[in-house]
Amino acid sequence: MLLAIDTGNTNTVFAVFDDEGHIRGEWRASSDVNRTADESGIWLSQLLSLAGLERSSITAAIIASVVPATVFSSRALCRRYFNCQPLVVGTAEVDIGIKVLLDRPEEIGADRLVNAVAAYHEYGGPKIVVDFGTATTFDVIDAEGSYLGGTIAPGINLSLAALHRTAAQLPRVAVGRPERVIGKTTVQAMRSGIFWGYVGLIEGMVERIRDELGAQAGVIATGGLAPLFTECCPVLEHVDLHLTLKGLLEVYRRNVHR
């Protein structure tokens, strides 16, 4: 079985795929650069046991990280607890299978690359991937599956935290769909501004990307808050919460079978 590790700025996802490509277990932890390989190994071993999975059944691993300081401990985790040398997306020896048409391809986050791989493999191209993470990203794949670039905006929770932190009279509020656009209280106004403001961001960015691309690219949403926006954003045609993990599986298969 394959252990896939997706380290984002906020959370790290650990997932186990069986030989048929089905997810047998999936767990989240905070992305803590101070967490040691042994701490992660003990924690993950217990979760595997609770899921009825043997640690010895994992024979391969792949890592995608946007937090470089965590890669060393993730490598050590794979070697020490699963006796395997992991593939690391973004290193020279790993072939992701698509062209990256950027001026500085080394700057692109590993999560955005594997999202592009999964989007093209699962849905074809051209496609726009909207990822609701710590940042809200829009990534563009052309009809041939090449990664063209994208945009990065502050994430929803990040924006809410910034409002609360820097404005003395604005409280901390939860993300949710308000019934009205015009808020009658401060909390209602904040919730409306965040939610409907992001709806406007999504719709406006997709329209502008399509215009610049010259194609009616389909749109895939991923990230924890994606389902919240699909009900009122018809441009979000597909929701795939496992898109990044699927991309890691596809990259692993490509490199093992090449």
Binding site membership for substrate: which residues? Answer: 109-112, 186
- Residue spans of alpha helices (H) in the chain: 37-50, 71-82, 110-123, 156-166, 186-213, 226-230, 243-257
* Binding site members: 6-13, 109-112, 131, 134, 186
Residue 111: active-site member: yes
* Binding site members for K(+): 131
Interior/surface letters 39-75, b for 16+ CB within 10 angstroms, e for the rest? ebbeebeeebeeeebeeeebebbbbbbbbeebbebbb
211: amino acid identity, one letter? D
Q: Residue 13 has which token pair? A: 């996802």
**SS3 of residue 243 by DSSP:** helix
Taking the C-alpha atoms of residue 37 and residue 26, their distance in angstroms, rounded to an integer, is 18
Using alpha carbons, select from 44, 13, 46 the residue that is nearest to residue 30: 13
What is the phi/psi pair of residue 202, to 5°?
A: -60, -50
Spot the catalytic one: 32, 95, 103, 111.
111
Residues facing residue 88 across a β-bridge: 63
* Binding site members for ATP: 6-13, 134
Alpha-carbon 3 to chain mean position: 16
CB 170 within 8 A of CB 186: yes
Enter the DSSP assignment of 20. Answer: T
What DSSP string describes 145-189?
Answer: --EEEEEEEE-HHHHHHHHHHH-TTPPP------S-SS-SSHHHH
Active-site residue numbers?
111
